[in-house]
Structure 1
Amino acid sequence: MDGTPQEITTLVGREVYSNNGVFVGEIEDVRLNVDACAVTGLALGELNSELFTNVTEGGQGVMIPYRWVRAVGDVVLINDIIERLQQPENEEDAEVVA
């Protein structure tokens, strides 16, 4: 973005991807801090089922902190932290990850 203020409603409907190019979800709403006039979170729906299989039930979304956002354009890029949130499938994987 060029630094020009944009309406926050323009975020709704944009797709969210990790820095690694993995689809995360689609923005359905934003969380605001009215006192600071700032966006503090993004509510995502249409989630990537591979990332959120054990985290959400069908029809639910997730809220991600806006501090994870790296870039906003035609799509929104966030840190790859979302991919690292996946639970390891067995204890050996847990030791490798930790």
Structure 2
Amino acid sequence: MDGTPEEITTLVGREVYSNSGMFVGEVEDVRLDLDHESVTGMALTELNQELFRGQIEPGKGVLIPYRWVRAVGDVILINDVIERLKTPDEDEESLAV
């Protein structure tokens, strides 16, 4: 990257993977903090059904905190914490949308 800021809209449509290479979902929308002019979360759809089976109803999405993002490129890499998702209350910010 050349240091030029990217448009937030370029995140929409990108595939999201965990650091270990597991497909998580696709970015449908972003959550913004307008006061701080920053992205605080990403709404994912087209979820990996194996990963979210029993947690999220098919056709629904999840909102993940942007602090989980490790890298943004052709795809978005997030912390492996998503793979340890076992119970809905494990991380209150990981809610069905």
In which range does the TM-score fall when normalised by the shorter chain?
0.7 to 0.9
Aligned residues with identical type, % of pairs: 74
**CA shift at 1:3, angstroms?**
2.8
Is the Cα contact below 8 Å between 1:51 and 1:83 reproduced in 2?
yes
SS at structure 2 position matched to 1:81: helix
Cα 1:2/1:84, change in 2 over 3 Å: farther
Mapping 1:77-92, distance limit 5 Å: 77-86=77-86
SS at structure 1 position matched to 2:13: coil
SS at structure 2 position matched to 1:51: helix
Determine the C-alpha separation between the residues in 2 that align with 1:3 and 1:48: 32
Q: What's the TM-score, normalizing by structure 2? A: 0.86
Q: Which residue of structure 2 lines up, in the alignment, with residue 44 of structure 1?
A: 44
Larger radius of gyration: 1
Determine the C-alpha separation between the residues in 1 that align with 2:68 and 2:12: 17
Residue type matched to 2:19 in 1? N
SS at structure 1 position matched to 2:58: coil
Point out where structure 1 has 5 or more consecutive residues left out of the alignment. Answer: 88-98
Q: Which residue of structure 1 lines up, in the alignment, with residue 62 of structure 2?
A: 62
Q: Which residue of structure 2 lines up, in the alignment, with residue 27 of structure 1?
A: 27
Is the Cα contact below 8 Å between 1:51 and 1:86 reproduced in 2?
no
SS at structure 1 position matched to 2:64: strand
Point out where structure 2 has 5 or more consecutive residues left out of the alignment. Answer: 88-97
Q: How many residues align?
A: 87
Residue type matched to 2:24 in 1? V
Determine the C-alpha separation between the residues in 2 that align with 1:25 and 1:42: 10
Residue type matched to 1:47 in 2? L
Residue type matched to 1:9 in 2? T
